[in-house]
Amino acid sequence: MPITRVPLREQIHSELLDRIHSGDIPPGSRVQDTTLARQLGVSRTPVREALIRLARDGVLDSDTGRGFRLRPFARAELRDVGGILAVLEPLALGLAPDFSPERLTGLADLARQLEQARGDVARIVELDEAWHRSLLADCPNRRLLELIATLRQVPRRYLHAYLREARRVSLSALHHTRVLDALRRGDRSAAAALLERRWRRGIQEMEGWIP
């Protein structure tokens, strides 16, 4: 087992993301370092570091001297971030080398699991996340992958809430197989185009629902 010392700030960061995605923290509500530090049994310092990062990533709002609060859902934010991802994910896909049979099988597996996960929101979102990560994993531009991962946090939060509240069992899971087919044919640009269209459609669908 590789011994890894993970700084508290990162552990706290993940924990907070989980809470946010699961809806434990309602949009617009305050997020106080004192409270969290007490709850998690750590000091305020690493908590604040995690909060500052979340604020920079656009998950939290922070007015100087007035602390942090969970950013309320907003069409504009979803559209903005979606517009960026609609360009970056196809870019990453285009940069990846040819797909190995193993990778393709893995993707097909995930797609199958996704179809069977109807209803279980947390699982759907997690599998969709895994599918995309696997799709782009071979892209040599590490920086791009990290950026995509950070940006995806935003629509992910919306997707969670959308699936939960709009009672949609899944978000057009169909596209997974379509992209996969294109990759099997070796048609990378078709796959990239499908991926882009999927983003635009998905964002549009969620936008319509935002209160």
- How far is the C-alpha of 11 from the C-alpha of 205, rounded, in Å? 33
Among 15, 19, 25, 32, binds DNA (CB under 7 A): 32
Question: Which residues in the 58-87 window bind its own copies by CB under 8 A?
Answer: 58, 64-65, 77, 79-81, 83-84, 87
Residue 106: name the closest of 77, 72, 152, 138 by CA. 138
Q: Is 60 in the site for DNA (CB under 7 A)?
A: no
Among 2, 6, 26, 101, binds its own copies (CB under 8 A): 6
Q: Is 33 in the site for DNA (CB under 7 A)?
A: yes
- How far is the C-alpha of 60 from the C-alpha of 114, rounded, in Å? 30
Nearer to its own copies, 107 or 151 (CB): 151
Backbone φ and ψ for 19, nearest 5 degrees, come out as -60, -40
Q: Is 2 in the site for its own copies (CB under 8 A)?
A: no
Q: Is 53 in the site for DNA (CB under 7 A)?
A: no
- How far is the C-alpha of 142 from the C-alpha of 150, rounded, in Å? 12
Residue 205: other Cβ atoms inside 10 A: 14
- How far is the C-alpha of 201 from the C-alpha of 5, rounded, in Å? 41
Nearer to its own copies, 13 or 198 (CB): 13
Q: Are 100 and 120 in contact (CB under 8 A)?
A: no
Residue 118's binding partner among its own copies, DNA, none (Cβ under 5 to 8 angstroms by kind) is: none
208's tokens: 């319509």
4's tokens: 């890894």
List residues near DNA by CB under 7 A. 5, 7-9, 30, 32-34, 42-46, 48, 62, 64-68
Task: Report the interface residues with its own copies, using CB under 8 A.
Answer: 5-7, 9, 45, 48-49, 52-53, 56, 58, 64-65, 77, 79-81, 83-84, 87-88, 91, 95, 141-144, 147
